[in-house]
Amino acid sequence: MDGSAPHVGAGTGIGPLSGLRVLDMSRVLAGPWCTQCLADLGAEVLKIEAPGEGDETRTWGPPSMGGVSAYFACANRAKQSLIVDLKSEAGRDMIRGLAAKADILVENFKGGTMERMGLSYDELTKINPRLIYCAISGYGRTGPNSERAGYDFVIQAETGLMSVTGFPDGAPTKVGVAVSDLFSGLYASQAILAAVVGRARTGRGTFIDVALFDCQLAALANVAANVLATGGRPKRYGNAHPNVVPYELFDAADGPIALAIGNDRQFRTLCNRVLDLPELVTDPDFSTNALRVVNRVRLRPLLADRILSAPRSHWLARLKAESLPGGELFSVDEALQSPQAVERGLVKCFDSENGADAGRIKVVRYPVNFGDGLPDPTPPPALGEGGEELANRWMKND
């Protein structure tokens, strides 16, 4: 991957990252999400966990599956677990030895923690100049908040995400998934892969500073761009879109449908061939998307009354016939069991044989398909499972 020979015997030999070794010193979600992406792509991931309960998310339940909390299972498949006491000098020495053999180290301690343990990038790069060191934190390594702990809920509040989520007459609302953590994990994995490519050219590793605050601000995308363009404070639109109309949920006779009309041609087709409302096409207030945004308060009830007159199946069939974007509102369980999810094989099942906790562990697999295939993932490890064997192999360079 980086121009050097892969580690002999590393991984399964399947996947674009086969041969790369990842020392995972992260926990909870952002860091583990990043390293799980690398594991899914074929890298060997050695997850370091504290004695006792290990990663906090092992206890974040119910629910659990096969003796593993569902939360832990969602972010830790395809890894091996090694128990290391970082409070002891012996434990810190073990990390130094593993870092000397690793390609990538990922950690998400508060700023200054790794420095106090003598495990900073500056220290470890003396041992392994090729090490790619990714530090994920709430606020990064600079700025007035650099030593604060980062929590997704607080980041959603402080970046303005909550202020634009929810209905206009309701309270600011968090997103139902920890998106700040997930965005940060994905940005981190992208940056790591860029560093691997860069290392092939320079022969050197690098330090990567990933902050949840930064990543969530970047992921505000068009909302942030709107503010930068106007200087104004954005509103909450509920299920509607600030820049595109109509783009929201509408109630049909037997339940809601999602309608996403992205351009003027689609709007004309919607009115003429789906809703039988040709008068809206010739109405000067609705002739362009910009005008529909300005006049959304007048347009919405006209569309809503017509859609309410027939069931979802009627409108969805018409939308499909005209290749217009629309869909049924599913619950998460319905989406996971949908024909599309089943056909794509998105749910991966593992058998667990942990004594009284025997059972099935189910996860949503890595959502990208590779023509050359990816390794078949292993289930999330029990605390300490598989790590000692993998660590010994690293140290022996097998």
Q: Domain boundaries in the chain?
A: 21-220+346-396, 247-331
Q: Token digits for 143?
A: 């700025």
Residue 96: per-residue pLDDT: 97
Per 3-state DSSP, what percentage of the chain is helix, strand, and coil (rounded to 5)? 40, 15, 45
- CATH class of the domain defined by 21-220+346-396: alpha beta
| 11: pLDDT strictly greater than 60 | no
Burial of residue 233, with CB atoms counted within 10 A of its CB: 0-12 exposed, 13-18 middle, 19 or more buried: exposed
* Residue 351 β-bridge partners: 360
Residue 67: per-residue pLDDT: 84
Residue 25: per-residue pLDDT: 98
Residue 351: per-residue pLDDT: 81
Provide mean pLDDT across the span 146-166: 95
DSSP 386: B
Residue 354: per-residue pLDDT: 55
**Which pLDDT band, with edges at 50, 70 and 90, does 398 fall under?**
low
Q: Which fold has domain 247-331?
A: formyl-coa transferase, domain 3 (3.30.1540)
DSSP 368: -
pLDDT in tens, 53-74: 899 999 998 999 888 899 999 9
pLDDT in tens, 287-311: 999 999 999 999 999 999 999 999 9
DSSP 242: S
pLDDT in tens, 41-51: 999 999 999 99
Residue 353: per-residue pLDDT: 62
| 133: pLDDT strictly greater than 80 | yes
**Least confident residue range of 63-67, 161-165, 322-326:** 63-67
| 10: pLDDT strictly greater than 70 | no
Q: Token digits for 181?
A: 């953590």
**Which pLDDT band, with edges at 50, 70 and 90, does 15 fall under?**
very high
pLDDT in tens, 105-116: 999 998 889 999
Catalytic residue among 2, 181, 209, 214: 181
Report long-range pairs for 296-303 (Cβ below 8 Å, ≥24 apart).
Answer: 296/240, 296/245, 296/246, 299/245, 299/246, 300/245, 300/246, 302/277, 303/246, 303/250, 303/259, 303/275, 303/277
As a whole-number percent, the residues of the chain with pLDDT over 90 amount to 88
| 118: pLDDT strictly greater than 60 | yes
Residue 13: per-residue pLDDT: 74
254 is catalytic: no
Distance CA(267)–CA(81), nearest Å, equals 54
pLDDT in tens, 199-256: 999 999 999 999 999 999 999 999 999 999 999 999 999 999 999 999 999 999 999 9
